[in-house]
Amino acid sequence: MGTWDSLHKQHVDVFIRINLLEKALLGLLQNRATGDMKGAASLQKDFLKAFEQGMILHFAVEEEALFPVLARAGEKPRILISELLAEHKSIMEKHNMIVQTAAVDKDKILLELIRELADHAKKEEQSIPSIISQLTPEQLNNIDQDAKRLGYRL
Ligand SMILES: [Fe+2]
Ligand SMILES: [Fe+2]
């Protein structure tokens, strides 16, 4: 399996997790949680664990293996990649706020994080495949080698 296919599979997993978590967080924030605070708390914990175990490397693979090649595919891809990098930064800032501080509104920040992450992954799904399809087998192979070097399992 190639790097993009693996990233794509993670996006699908993220969409499922985010969907569940968004409902739970909205319930918490609107005080509509009907006795399922524990369920919401464990969904949050699971999401943060999955984020740390999967998404951080996912971002690294995109930033260091995939994006540099895509950015060289033309002016439009170059602009797209700069937008995607800014989105990574914003998502990571929110993650850091959640894990490093005693912020009282962590639920709210997490809700913002998952919404940004869902929009971001959707944007990648809509824009990256057509750029990938223009790459040569050699470029694709270089991406895979760089991804593996980062410890990404294809
Ligand atoms: Fe990304
Ligand atoms: Fe991604």
Residue 79 Cα to ligand 2 midpoint, Å, equals: 16
Answer whether residue 33 shows pLDDT above 60: no
pTM of this prediction exceeds 0.75: yes
State the pLDDT at residue 32.
59
Residue 24 Cα to ligand 2 midpoint, Å, equals: 23
Residue 71 Cα to ligand 1 midpoint, Å, equals: 14
Residue type, 144: D
Average pLDDT of the residues of the chain: 92
Answer whether residue 36 shows pLDDT above 70: no
Q: Which of 53, 52, 55 is nearest to 63 (CA)?
A: 55
Residue 47 Cα to ligand 2 midpoint, Å, equals: 16
Residue 35 Cα to ligand 2 midpoint, Å, equals: 34
State the pLDDT at residue 35.
56
78's tokens? 């170059």
Asked if 48 and 99 count as a contact pair (C-beta separation under 8 A), the reply is yes
Answer whether residue 83 shows pLDDT above 90: yes
Between 149 and 102, the higher pLDDT residue: 149
Residue 26 Cα to ligand 2 midpoint, Å, equals: 24
In this predicted model, what pLDDT tens digit does every residue of 87-132 receive, in sequence order? 999 999 999 999 887 767 888 999 999 999 999 999 999 999 999 9
40's tokens? 């919401």
From CA 15, how far away is CA 53, in angstroms rounded?
Answer: 16
State the pLDDT at residue 44.
87
Place of tokens 């369920």: 39
DSSP letter string over 68-109? HHHHTT-HHHHHHHHHHHHHHHHHHHHHHHHHHS--TTHHHH
